[in-house]
Amino acid sequence: MKEMVDWVGPLRGPNEGGGLSVPSKVKAITVPVAAVSCGGFFTMALTEDGQIWNLGVVLAQQTLTMSLEEEIRLEEEIRWKVLSWGHGGHGQLGHSSIQNQKIPAVVEALAADRIVYIACGGSSSAAITNEGKLFMWGNAKDSQLGVSGLPEVQPCPVEVKFLMEDDELGPHNVLSVAVGASHAMCLVSR
């Protein structure tokens, strides 16, 4: 079983304490973990069954204080969906606006898709579907979204279409994506 391990900082579940100096299992998550991502003061985990867990400090450094029962009910409703919140000044939240979002909200443009991977960086965001399609949104000033002709701010997800003329790429599926401050890279399979 894949388990989540962390150390240092307030990245623990309820009543677990924080600030460990050596790696230790995160006991709050009892199901297999598929992916983990860390922010400045928090950690998010995606479980193999599509649950999203958030541990640590969120929104203006307020600790998440949701009971496990409430969290499980919420996650049943949002499984395989993208939720975003926080600063939205460059459209990076995907809510078709540049407004800030104080609480997690589903990215409606992707609600019909089964999302299996997400990435954020700088002021841009990305999501990959179970069919291997890549969607990106947010700051497009430096063409980091991979779609030509976009405005500098793209607040709604758009599908990235690859150059099919490239004989070496051919038909493919996107497996993962990384988003930097003004660039992005992805791993594909044929």
Mean pLDDT, residues 84-92: 87
Comparing C-alpha atoms, which of 134, 66, 69, 130 is closest to residue 104?
66
Q: Per residue in 131-184, pLDDT tens? A: 999 999 999 998 889 898 999 999 999 999 875 555 565 667 888 888 888 888
Joined together, the tokens standing for residue 28 give 């709050």
pTM here is 0.64
3-state helix, strand, coil in the chain (%, to 5): 5, 40, 55
| 103 has a pLDDT exceeding 50 | yes
The pLDDT score that the predictor gives to residue 13 is 46
Mean pLDDT, residues 107-133: 89
Comparing C-alpha atoms, which of 57, 51, 46, 52 is closest to residue 18?
57
Q: Per residue in 4-62, pLDDT tens? A: 666 544 444 444 555 544 556 677 777 887 777 665 555 677 777 777 776 655 443 33
| 63 has a pLDDT exceeding 50 | no
The pLDDT score that the predictor gives to residue 166 is 56
- Distance (Å, rounded) from C-alpha 133 to C-alpha 109? 14
Local confidence band at 95 (pLDDT 50, 70, 90 cut-offs): very high
The pLDDT score that the predictor gives to residue 67 is 38
Joined together, the tokens standing for residue 161 give 């279409």
The pLDDT score that the predictor gives to residue 101 is 86
The pLDDT score that the predictor gives to residue 72 is 44
